[in-house]
Amino acid sequence: MKGKVVVDRGRCCYCGGCVGVCPQDALSLQEVLLCVDDVKCVGCGLCVKFCPVDALSIEK
Amino acid sequence: MIDRFYDVVVVGAGPAGSVAAKVFAERGLKTLVLEKRQEIGAPKRCAEGINVTALRGLGLEPDPRWAVHEIKGAVLYAPSGRCLEVKSGNVLGYVLERKMFEKFLAFEAIRRGAKYMVKTTATGVVKEEGKVCGVEAVYMGEEFTVDCRLVVAADGVDSKIARTAGLNTVNSMADYHSGFQYEMAGLHLSDPEVLHIFFGEKIAPKGYVWIFPKGGDVANVGVGVLGRLSDRGCKARDFLDGFIDSRPEIFRDASPVEINTGGIPVGSTVDCMTADGLMVVGDAAHQVNPIHGGGIALAMNAGRLAAEVGVKALAEGDVSQNRLSEYEVLWKEGYGSKLERLLKLRNFMEKLEDCDLEKMCDVLSGEDVMRLTEGEYNFLINRFIKKAPKILPLARKFLT
């Protein structure tokens, strides 16, 4: 189990850039809220690496 | 009030979506545009530069309400600060106010009969026998479904609609920039009539820092960093803050008025831009210039092309993938080879080290840079043979 992505709401600028790299289709931008589908997320960390403002991390 | 059925549903009210909606609406098709944000055009995910030829090619006369600043050239800075300048007496482009521009494009579509909904997130497509025939969406927390004959996915880098229709629009970290930008006031710019572009491994790995002036002491100041090199401690934001701190001569009196972030597709366009009953346009289709990451004009041209094909397909009663693929053919004819050449040029540029970038300043003129941005690079090999033999093998490998 690699863990799941969690969003730091204080940092997220809701640009949706991370959604564009998620191979599992686990992220979505609903209006201005970045949502993570815990069922789909496999904790690959691509979105964590991409995020320009370090708003994402993997929680074990 | 919206109806239950539309000829066309456009998802996303950016430049691609609104241009497409305008074309559909003026041909008398019942058109609905769904925009997830509560304000069209804000927050921007863009440095707002556009070339004047592209703007006029789209039939748009620059309006000072949205074309807020005239640009007459560019200065490119190597890591040491040495620079290449290209400046014209004429206006070469504009820096836009995107929130005004996107609303202007929406007004144009609305005045031709299109309906818009904001604060409305499209969550997926409805399919019947494998064909797209509607959109599921949420407005103010309430779910609803709209039936339609054709869907245009103009929903940006975070596109879900094309993916739910089975198309692959996922970006690779090798072809995707992580972007961070401040719109700032209080800048001291050496020349506010030109774009300022800064290169270097320590400034922006495989990317660049930009200062796009918006008039007076205001500018968009941003950075793009290649996704695969973005990591904790060396994120786009870290690079931009470092750049700003290192240049008090420009930034000592500056403060941000906006923060903008985003992903910038800089690779090839997506392999397939159509499905039965659906077309993808703009950032969602990765229709972006790989060398500078600009995409406003390409997105609008794609929106127009897609809609023109869509209008014919709807009139014929055939919105199959096969019929809609005429849009892809026209796209490739119009833009494909130029974008492929620019991608090759980007791959070459990515291999250059800081010392090579310095050398480029000796070898190239400002006019050469203009040619490069158009994808004309054949002259480079001859230039390197004479003046920069060290770069020649790389140039031969990537550019021939």
Identify the residue among B98, B170, B229 best suited for mutation to test binding to A, counting A beta carbons within 10 A and taking the highest: B170
| Cα–Cα distance, B283 to B266 (Å, whole number) | 10
- Provide the 8-state DSSP code for A10: T
Residues 6+ apart with CB under 8 A from B44: B98, B99, B258, B260
CB-based contact B173 A50, cutoff 8 Å: yes
Q: Is the pLDDT of residue A1 over 60?
A: no
Which residue bears the tokens 């793009």?
B224
- Provide the 8-state DSSP code for B48: -
> Is B123 in a helix, a strand, or coil?
strand
- Provide the 8-state DSSP code for B332: I
Q: Is the pLDDT of residue B270 over 80?
A: yes
Residues 6+ apart with CB under 8 A from B302: B16, B281, B282, B285, B287, B331
Given this model, what pLDDT does residue A60 score?
81
| Cα–Cα distance, B203 to B206 (Å, whole number) | 9
Residue B129's region, left for phi above 0, alpha for psi from -120 to 50, else beta, is left
**Chain A within 8 Å of B170 (Cβ-Cβ)?**
yes
Q: What are the respective helix, strand and coil percentages of chain A, to the nearest 5?
A: 15, 25, 60
| pTM, two decimal places | 0.97
> Does this complex have an ipTM over 0.95?
yes
Which residue bears the tokens 């400002």?
B366
Average pLDDT, chain B: 96
Q: Is the pLDDT of residue B46 over 80?
A: yes
Top pLDDT among B358 and A32 is at B358
Given this model, what pLDDT does residue A31 score?
86
Identify the residue among B35, B158, B269, B288 best suited for mutation to test binding to A, counting A beta carbons within 10 A and taking the highest: B158
Full DSSP string of B236-253: HHHHHHHHHHT-HHHHTT
Closest CA to B268 of B186, B367, B344, B188: B344
| Cα–Cα distance, B400 to B397 (Å, whole number) | 6
Q: How many CB atoms lie within 10 A of CB B361?
A: 15
CB-based contact A32 B236, cutoff 8 Å: no
CA B27 to chain centre: 27
Tokens read off for B292: 């500078």
> Is A58 in a helix, a strand, or coil?
strand
Taking only residues 30 to 49 of chain B, the set having a beta carbon closer than 8 angstroms to any beta carbon of chain A reads: 36-38, 43, 45
Given this model, what pLDDT does residue B126 score?
97
Task: Give the pLDDT band (50/70/90) at residue B2.
Answer: confident
Q: Is the pLDDT of residue B1 over 80?
A: no
Angstrom distances, CA of residue B25 to CA of B9, B29, B60, B155, B326: 11, 5, 18, 19, 20
CB-based contact A22 B170, cutoff 8 Å: yes
Q: Is the pLDDT of residue B262 over 60?
A: yes
CB-based contact A20 B159, cutoff 8 Å: yes
CB-based contact A13 B261, cutoff 8 Å: yes
**Chain A within 8 Å of B136 (Cβ-Cβ)?**
no
**Chain A within 8 Å of B263 (Cβ-Cβ)?**
yes
Q: Is the pLDDT of residue B154 over 90?
A: yes
**Chain B within 8 Å of A59 (Cβ-Cβ)?**
no
How close does chain A come to B30, measured CA to CA in Å? 25
Which residue bears the tokens 């880098």?
B157
Task: Give the pLDDT band (50/70/90) at residue A33.
Answer: very high
pLDDT tens-place string over residues B85-110: 999 999 999 999 999 999 999 999 99
Beta bridge partners of B144: B137
CB-based contact A52 B173, cutoff 8 Å: no
Given this model, what pLDDT does residue A32 score?
85
Task: Give the pLDDT band (50/70/90) at residue B400.
Answer: confident
- Residues B154, B14: contact at Cβ < 8 Å? yes
**Chain B within 8 Å of A44 (Cβ-Cβ)?**
no
Q: Is the pLDDT of residue B138 over 90?
A: yes
Q: Is the pLDDT of residue B259 over 90?
A: yes
**Chain B within 8 Å of A20 (Cβ-Cβ)?**
yes
CB-based contact A17 B265, cutoff 8 Å: no
Q: Is the pLDDT of residue A12 over 70?
A: yes
What mean pLDDT do residues B232-238 have? 96
Which residue bears the tokens 């691609």?
B16
Q: Is the pLDDT of residue A43 over 90?
A: yes
- Provide the 8-state DSSP code for B234: B
Angstrom distances, CA of residue B171 to CA of B68, B205, B325, B398: 32, 18, 22, 22
DSSP-H helix ranges across B149-219: 161-164
Beta bridge partners of B31: B8
Tokens read off for B175: 């072809």
CA-based radius of gyration for chain B:
21
**Chain A within 8 Å of B356 (Cβ-Cβ)?**
no
Q: Is the pLDDT of residue B174 over 70?
A: yes
pLDDT tens-place string over residues B339-353: 999 999 999 999 999
- Residues of chain A neighbouring B227 (CB-CB closer than 8 A): 21, 49-50
How close does chain B come to A25, measured CA to CA in Å? 8
| Closest by Cβ to A21, choosing from B160, B227, B260 | B227
| Closest by Cβ to A13, choosing from B170, B232, B259 | B259
**Chain B within 8 Å of A30 (Cβ-Cβ)?**
yes
| Cα–Cα distance, B29 to B32 (Å, whole number) | 10
CB-based contact A49 B119, cutoff 8 Å: no
- Residues of chain A neighbouring B173 (CB-CB closer than 8 A): 21, 46, 49-50
Q: Which pairing describes strands B67-71 and A56-59: parallel, antiparallel, or unpaired?
A: unpaired
Q: What percent of chain B has pLDDT over 90?
A: 96
The amino acid at B77: Y
Task: Classify burial at B257, counting beta carbons within 10 Å of its beta carbon; exposed 0-12, middle 13-18, buried 19 or more.
Answer: exposed
Q: Which residue of A has its CA nearest to B222?
A: A52
